[in-house]
Amino acid sequence: MLSYIANIQTAQILQNICKRKNILILNEKTTEIDIKNYLKEPTINFNLMKYLFIDVSLLKNSKKEIVESIYEFSKQYKNIRIIIYAQGFNNQDILLTNLYDLGFYNIINENDNTLVETKINKIIETGLKKKDTRKYEKKREEKQKKSILKTMEKKMRNKILSGNTKTENIPKEVYFFSLIIETIVKLLKFIFYLLIFILTSIGLTILVNKELRDMLLQILGLG
């Protein structure tokens, strides 16, 4: 038996599937409800149920309440295959990623009704496995990579601004540019020190050599 919480359009798809597969519909809801109350409804014999289809767009509850309610229900009724329908939800929506983390893999978030029907058929027949729904896995590694890249970018910017052009963790383009700048700076320093050395040498030579000293004094008009 199958029970569903779904809008009229989706309910029609479910009814057609159940008719083809000779599945009896135990309970149906096509309006907005409180999932906490529904899953504790004493008039519904959940022990007879094999499939429970939940359209989260019809739930009044917060995402946290939805996850908690479904999880508690699944522990009590382990033989019921719960189908989560979240049409148009992002793959990384916190509701879907949290349900995925808790082991709920029968999730549908496609917009196309043909794809929705295909997935419902597959879930009823065999259910979806973890490998089929990895798109709902929290992208922790991706977030960490982005965070690392931002940190590297910040460090690189600070190094350039401070004149520290060490090559660790700096992209090639920036590294070569900084290398050229560093080479030019070193070359200018070398030329500056060379000029000082030459002038100093000339000065010392003149001071030591009397003839050159007298000649220089005459040129300057001091002799």
What gap in Å lies between CA 63 and CA 78, rounded to an integer?
A: 22
Domain span at residue 28 reads 2-136
pLDDT band at 199 (very low <50, low <70, confident <90, very high): confident
| Boundary residue ending a domain (136, 153, 172) | 136
Chain mean position to CA 218: 81
Average pLDDT over residues 10-17: 96
The answer to whether the pTM exceeds 0.85 is no
Q: Report the chain's C-alpha Rg in angstroms.
A: 38
Give 165-172's long-range contacts (Cβ < 8 A, gap of 24+).
Answer: none
Q: Are residues 108 and 198 both part of a single domain?
A: no
Which pLDDT does position 152 carry in this prediction? 61
- Return the percentage of the chain with pLDDT > 70, whole number: 78
Mean pLDDT of the chain: 85
Q: Are residues 7 and 116 both part of a single domain?
A: yes
Q: Which tens digits make up the pLDDT trace of 24-71?
A: 999 999 999 999 999 999 999 999 999 999 999 999 999 999 999 999
Which pLDDT does position 105 carry in this prediction? 96
What gap in Å lies between CA 82 and CA 183, rounded to an integer?
A: 66
Q: Are residues 128 and 150 both part of a single domain?
A: no
Q: What is the CATH number of the domain that holds 129?
A: 3.40.50.2300
**DSSP H/E element including 179:** helix 172-208
The number of domains in the chain is: 2
Q: Are residues 20 and 127 both part of a single domain?
A: yes
Which pLDDT does position 172 carry in this prediction? 59
Average pLDDT over residues 210-217: 69
Task: Report residue 143 as tokens.
Answer: 């977030």
| Boundary residue ending a domain (79, 113, 136) | 136
Q: Are residues 152 and 101 both part of a single domain?
A: no
Q: Are residues 33 and 124 both part of a single domain?
A: yes
In terms of residues, how long is the chain? 223
| Boundary residue ending a domain (82, 113, 136) | 136
Q: Are residues 54 and 89 both part of a single domain?
A: yes
Q: Which residues contact 220 (CB under 8 A, 6 or more apart)?
A: none
Q: Are residues 132 and 172 both part of a single domain?
A: no
Q: Which tens digits make up the pLDDT trace of 112-171?
A: 999 999 999 999 999 999 999 999 999 875 555 556 556 666 666 666 566 555 545 556
